[in-house]
């Protein structure tokens, strides 16, 4: 995992093995704007924003918990027509990986520390499938790097 100026690589214990991310010390809304811009500036359309932090806060009492997990947490879902087509032409079952997701969050115990990341796609199947999925992972990594200040 690369470290960029103004960002620190998230420790392995903070994210699941199947995810990659970086943490920056900036206002959440500023980082969110930069993440959205990094997606849109590539000609991609954000299909859905999942307000995960709000949902968990709203439903905590319903499931018997009063723990605040996040100050804010969201995931942005989108696809790339070019990369998705290449992945699915190589292996129709790669449909399972669309849409792609990037996320950001801030926790109450680390205010001002915003983590931005993505789920790494497993590069499986034929050589063409592996290459196509590697290209998706590269795109997601570029988006995170741009959003965190490289």
Confidence of residue 4 (pLDDT cuts 50, 70, 90): very low
| Arithmetic mean of pLDDT over the chain | 92
Across residues 107-117, what is the average pLDDT? 95
pLDDT at 85 over 60: yes
Q: Quick one: which of 71, 74, 69 has its CA closest to 35?
A: 74
Calculate helix-pair angle for 81-90, 127-147, nearest 10 degrees: 150
Pick 150 or 53 by higher pLDDT: 53
Provide the residue ranges of all domains of the chain, joining segments of one domain with +.
Answer: 7-147
Q: Give the separation between CA 127 and CA 132, rounded to whole angstroms.
A: 9
Q: Which of 9-13, 23-27, 92-96, 137-141 has the lowest mean pLDDT?
A: 9-13
**Measured between alpha carbons, how far is 81 from 99 in angstroms, rounded to an integer?**
10
Q: What is the largest CA-CA distance in the chain?
A: 48
Helix (H) or strand (E) holding 75: strand 72-79
What number is the average pLDDT over the span 7-33?
84
Q: How far apart are CA 30 and CA 13, in angstroms?
A: 26
* Rounded mean pLDDT, 53-70: 95
CATH class of 7-147: alpha beta
Alpha-carbon distance of 9 to 96, in angstroms, equals 28
Question: Quick one: pLDDT at residue 7?
Answer: 57
114-146 per-position pLDDT tens digit: 999 999 999 999 999 999 999 999 999 999 999
| 28-40 vs 127-147: helix crossing angle, rounded to 10 | 140
**pTM of the shown model:** 0.89
């Amino acid at each position: 995992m690369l470290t960029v100026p103004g960002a620190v690589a998230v420790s392995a214990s903070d994210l699941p093995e199947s995810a990659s991310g970086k943490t920056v010390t900036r206002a959440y809304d500023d980082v969110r704007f930069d993440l959205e811009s990094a997606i849109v500036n590539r000609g991609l359309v954000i299909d859905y924003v999942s307000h995960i932090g709000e949902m968990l806060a709203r439903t905590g009492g319903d499931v018997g918990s009063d723990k605040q997990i996040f100050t804010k947490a969201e995931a942005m879902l989108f696809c790339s027509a070019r990369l998705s087509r290449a992945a699915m032409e190589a292996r129709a079952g790669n449909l399972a990986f669309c849409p792609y997701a990037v996320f950001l969050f801030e926790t109450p115990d680390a205010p001002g520390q915003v983590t931005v990341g993505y789920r790494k796609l497993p590069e499986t199947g034929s050589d063409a499938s592996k290459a196509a999925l590697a290209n998706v992972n590269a795109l997601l990594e570029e988006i995170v790097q741009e959003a965190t200040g490289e």
